[in-house]
Amino acid sequence: MKKIYDIVPPHKADTILKPKENTVKEKKKKGFPFRFILIVLVCIIAYGFFMDGHAQVIIYPKTSNHGGEEMFSVNLKQGSIDLENKIIPGIIFSNIQDMSEEYSATGKTDKDKKATGTIRVYNKLNPGKPLTLVKGTRFLDDSGDLIFRALSGFTVPQAKTIDGKFTNGYVDIQVEADEAGEKYNIASGTFSVPGLSGTEYYSGIWAEVISPMTGGTKSEVSIVLTSDLESAEQDFREKVQIKNQEDLKKSIPSNYMIYDQSFSTEFENIEIGAKKGDEVISFTVSGKVKTEIMAFRKEHLEDVLESIILGQTTETIVPESLKYNIIEEKSKEEGIELKISYEAKSYWLPDNDFLLQSILGKEKNYSLSSLQNIPEIERAEINLSPFYKTKNPSNKDNVEIKLNFD
């Protein structure tokens, strides 16, 4: 029989032969990942099935209530707790501060000043005559509004003829405004003498400013009153005492209880920065303040209470169940006396080795029934992992026992 050979033209060889080879290879590659993943999943399931797992056992014990009232002593000279006699060591906390407060002056007074200056008084009488005037003589300005008075008596010399020339007599004097106020502060002006009206001197005597009138003011200022000083010191003592007490409380560690009635405050070097009549708007009061208070440790009180409770039962006190209140406080020479009301819960359970006998390697439901048949247990829960487990671990290291008192 004659053999037949398929002859493929060279230019078609790549497109016909190579794709067939690639197809075979691709099919082989696709099968490999699927088989590998399947094997891994089987291993994981098998491991999970045969592994010991983990159990969380939550036990809710039955509890008993305890409560009552007890008397305690806090003694500053006590070095340690005396459980038998219920004596707790006391300690003094102190705080010293330099403090100051500012206070306002409430008094008011008029701060009035009269303007003063120098005028020249002329005498032009002819024939000449000297004129003597007394202290307080009035001088009226041209406007008729301002009056100044002579600060002393004076004499105006008579006019004279010198070298054939008539010369007025004059004298310089100090004057003061008749009233306080800034309107009397003038730099120039001409004055008449009203007191001479109706006499031959009126038209011959006048005055002019030669030194400006200054210093006139009219205002109200604050002054310190005796009542300001007294109230400021009292307020300072009260205010800084409260503040120092609050600061002291904040500085005391949270595990201490304080006795508010034992607060004591001393003041040293109180200084008031003003005196009666001072013209100021405000002033300060300052001084050193020392505050002390007695305190004792909370854990010392709780130790005594727990000792009392444990003396009444063989059970264990439920954690954080102890509650207490101070219902009476009385100062003593070396400390304080306290009356305390308290309450707490207690429980008893067999040890873990006993409990594990009902758990290790047992079915979950069997273990729950066994645990809940123990008289001291109210109820129990068991959580297994992985989730599909129905039997507790055989290894005690894989069992977690927790107590819940809610």
Q: What is the pLDDT of residues 262-289, one digit of tens each?
A: 889 999 999 999 999 999 999 999 999 9
Given a contact cutoff of 8 angstroms between Cβ atoms, the answer to whether 283 and 225 are in contact is no
If asked whether residues 118 and 207 sit together in one domain, one would say: yes
- 172-217 pLDDT, tens per residue? 999 999 999 999 999 999 999 999 999 989 999 999 999 999 999 9
From first CA to last CA, the distance across the chain in angstroms is 98
210 and 139 in a common domain: yes
- pLDDT-based confidence at 3, cuts 50/70/90? very low
Residue 42 counted as domain residue? yes
Residues 118 and 191 in one domain: yes
Q: Can you give the pLDDT at residue 15?
A: 52
Binned at pLDDT 50, 70 and 90, residue 392 comes out as very high
pLDDT of residue 42 exceeding 50, the answer is yes
* Structural domain count of the chain: 3
Decide if 143 is inside a domain: yes
Please report, to the nearest 10 degrees, the dihedral formed by the alpha carbons of residues 73, 74, 76, 77 taken in order: 40
Residue 205 burial by CB count (10 A; 0-12/13-18/19+): exposed, middle or buried?
buried
Based on its alpha-carbon atoms, the radius of gyration of the chain, rounded to whole angstroms, reads 55
pLDDT-based confidence at residue 25 (cuts at 50, 70, 90): very low
- Residue 41 above 80 pLDDT? no
Query: pLDDT tens, 234-247?
Result: 999 999 999 999 99
Assess whether 193 and 118 both reside in one domain. yes
What distances in angstroms separate CA 103 from CA 230, 231, 243, one per listed residue?
Answer: 11, 9, 17
pLDDT over 90 percentage in the chain: 77
- What is the rounded distance in angstroms from the CA atom of residue 121 to the CA atom of residue 112? 27
Does 65 reside within a domain? no
C-alpha to C-alpha distance for 57 and 393, rounded to whole angstroms: 11
The confidence score (pLDDT) of residue 232 equals 96
Instruction: Write down the residue that tokens 């954080």 correspond to.
Output: 320
Distance of CA 25 to the CA centre of its chain: 80
| Same domain? 146 vs 215 | yes
Q: What is the mean pLDDT of residues 299-305?
A: 95
Please check whether residues 211 and 118 belong to one and the same domain. Answer: yes
The per-residue pLDDT for 4 is: 45
Within-domain flag for 352: no
Residues 227, 215 within the same domain: no
Structural domain boundaries, residue 237: 92-106+222-297
Shared domain check, 247 and 291: yes
CA dihedral over 217, 220, 222, 224, signed as positive or negative: positive
Distance CA 123, CA 159 (A): 6
Mean pLDDT of 359-365: 93
87-131 per-position pLDDT tens digit: 999 999 999 999 999 999 999 988 899 999 999 999 999 888 999
136/188 same-domain check: yes
Instruction: Identify the band that residue 383 occupies on the pLDDT scale cut at 50, 70 and 90.
Output: very high
Q: Cα 80 to chain center, whole Å? A: 35
Model confidence at 171: pLDDT above 60? yes
Q: In which band, very low, low, confident or very high, does the pLDDT at 2 lie, cut at 50, 70 and 90?
A: very low
* In-domain check, residue 231: yes
Q: Which of 307, 382, 295 is nearest to 344 (CA)?
A: 307
Total Cβ atoms within 10 A of residue 195? 17
- This prediction has a pTM of 0.59
Is residue 355 classed as helix, strand or coil in its secondary structure? helix
Find the length of the chain.
406
Predicted pLDDT of residue 33: 72
Residues 51-71 pLDDT 10s: 679 999 999 999 999 999 999
**Of 297, 330, 349, which residue sits at a domain end?**
297
- Mean per-residue pLDDT over the chain, rounded: 88
CB within 8 A of 88, min separation 6: which ones? 72, 73, 74, 75, 78, 81, 296, 297, 300, 301, 304
Q: Residue range 367-381: average pLDDT?
A: 93
Selection from 318, 327, 298, 271 nearest residue 69 by Cα: 327
In a domain, 34, yes or no: yes
The answer to whether position 364 is within a domain reads no
Judge if 133 and 196 occupy the same domain.
yes
Q: How far apart are CA 364 and CA 381, in angstroms?
A: 9
Are 208 and 130 members of one domain? yes
Among residues 244, 276, 297, the one where a domain terminates is: 297
- Domain containing 169 — which CATH number? 2.40.30
Name the residue with higher pLDDT: 24 or 253.
253
- Asked if residue 193 belongs to a domain, the reply is yes
The per-residue pLDDT for 242 is 93
Domain final residue pick, 297, 315, 339: 297
What residues pair up with 104 in beta bridges, in sequence order? 282
Does residue 274 share a domain with residue 237? yes
In three-state secondary structure terms, 24 is helix
- In this prediction, residue 18 carries a pLDDT of 52
The pLDDT tens digits for 306-343 are 999 999 999 999 999 999 999 998 888 889 999 999 99
Mean of the pLDDT values across residues 4-28? 49
Q: What is the pLDDT of residue 49?
A: 54
* Locus of tokens 């007890």: 70
